[in-house]
Copies of this chain bind each other. A is one copy, B any other.
Amino acid sequence: MDQMIKGSQSLIFMNAPYLISAASVTGSKEAEGPLGKLFDMTNEDDLFGAQTWEEAESTMQKEACVLALGKAHVEAEEVRYLFGGDLLRQGIATSMGVEALQIPLFGLYGACSTSGEALALAAMSAAAGYGEYMLAVTSSHFGSAEKEFRFPLGYASQRPLSAHWTVTGSGAFLVRSAVPEARNSRENIDRSAHGGAGEGKEQARQEKSHVRIAGVTVGKIVDYGLKDSQNMGACMAPAAMDTIVQNFKDMGRTEQDYDRIITGDLGYVGQSILFDLVRGKGYDIREKHLDCGMTIFDQQTQDTHAGGSGCGCAAVTLASFVLPKIEKGEWKRVLFVPTGALMSTVSYNEGASVPGIAHGIVLEHC
């Protein structure tokens, strides 16, 4: 049984599952950014051969899943459960995107924290031995998100400097159980463990990696009463602080126990608030912190204001930039904390606040 820390929001897995492969698919602006050369697939017109932004986003999700599966030589029908989500109403990008894969589906919504939610549930299911392979996928698209939350692109509205630029991208992650029973549940395991390269597809199957999901800290809704949907960094920073500090307390750690603490899309405004709030709790994460929304774009040349956002932002940055460093052992332990602003056009038009949520995923080199 996995370690349940009493009175906490966290789990530490006794049989921590492997994150055995990941894939990133992005649009053109992301391809031109600092991480451009690291993405597995990019597209020039951001439509990926589709007719609508929504269909384009679905295509990205499907391609990211297919790429992640392909890298590990695992077939879609071998995946037990898929955990996926996006920012659109009724999670339509996911429903339409993963339909063709025909994997039993748990549809999720956690705003831009959804990649953390999906990885948490995939890891929890794999660590419980509910299946050998689990897939986690999230996406966002600048065109579909602007239409969903703000204005159609043709309207060319002005954006305040505190606004984020939604990342066009999808990241998919294949999680493999390390529970002994699950490992033995497929006949091919023993064969492939002893087989060399070039002995056919079964032998090429990836069994392990150097990245394990060691634990999770599931976030609560944190609401400081902010109402400005054009300043999501400020709305989400309290949730990021809450989850990071909760992780420290639950696991008996400080910032010194992590090589990096990586938030999803707080951006420049949210980062400074996060530093202040965390300092108020007696920790200083400034030297360990990295924000995916500040990493994926070059603010100076790409005019992205506060930084990138969207549940594709943290996902593609994790897949392309963070995981390779953990895989190589450059970073031994990372706390990955995607952050979400829980709002809809209806809620902010009705004057409701924009609460935040953040989920923490502990990734370790092994």
> CB within 8 Å of B: which residues of A?
1-2, 4, 6, 9, 11, 52, 54-55, 80-81, 85, 87-92, 95-96, 98-99, 102-111, 117, 120-121, 124-125, 127-131, 147-148, 179, 181-182, 185, 218-221, 223, 342-347, 350, 352, 355, 357
Contact = CB atoms under 8 A, between A and B. Distances in A.
B88 A346 contact: yes
Given A2-B129, A88-B346, A110 B111 contact: no
A52 B350 contact: yes
Nearest to A243: B104
9 contacts: A1-B129, A55-B350, A90-B342, A90-B343, A92-B344, A92-B346, A104-B219, A106-B108, A147-B346
A141 B346 CA distance: 15
Given A52-B350, A121-B121, A355-B95, A344 B1 contact: no
A220 B129 contact: no
Contact of A105 (B128, B182, B347, B357): B357
Contacts of A127: 128
A95 B221 contact: yes
A99 B357 CA distance: 10
Given A11-B130, A89-B346, A92-B343, 9 more contacts: A4-B182, A89-B89, A89-B344, A90-B342, A98-B221, A102-B221, A106-B117, A107-B110, A107-B357
A188 to B, nearest CB: 12
Contact of A179 (B1, B105, B106, B130): B1
Contact of A1 (B52, B88, B181, B220): B181
Nearest to A85: B109
A82 to B, nearest CB: 9
Contacts of A220: 102-105
A335 to B, nearest CB: 16
Contacts of A221: 95, 98-99, 102, 105
A355 B343 CA distance: 26
How many monomers of this protein are in the complex? 2
A124 B126 CA distance: 11
Contacts of A223: 99
**Among all A-B residue pairs, the 7 with the closest Cβ atoms:** A89-B89, A128-B128, A104-B218, A90-B344, A95-B342, A92-B344, A107-B109
A221 to B, nearest CB: 4
A90 B104 contact: no
Query: A89, A98, A124, A347: which has the most chain B beta carbons within 10 Å?
Result: A89
Contacts of A55: 350, 352
A54 B96 CA distance: 26
A55 B121 CA distance: 29
Given A98-B221, A182-B4, A109 B130 contact: no
Contact of A106 (B91, B95, B218, B344): B218
A122 B43 CA distance: 39
Query: A219, A343, A344: which has the most chain B beta carbons within 10 Å?
Result: A344
A2 B147 CA distance: 44
Query: A55, A110, A185: which has the most chain B beta carbons within 10 Å?
Result: A110
Contact of A54 (B1, B121, B347): B347
Contact of A129 (B4, B90, B106, B110): B4
A14 B340 CA distance: 35
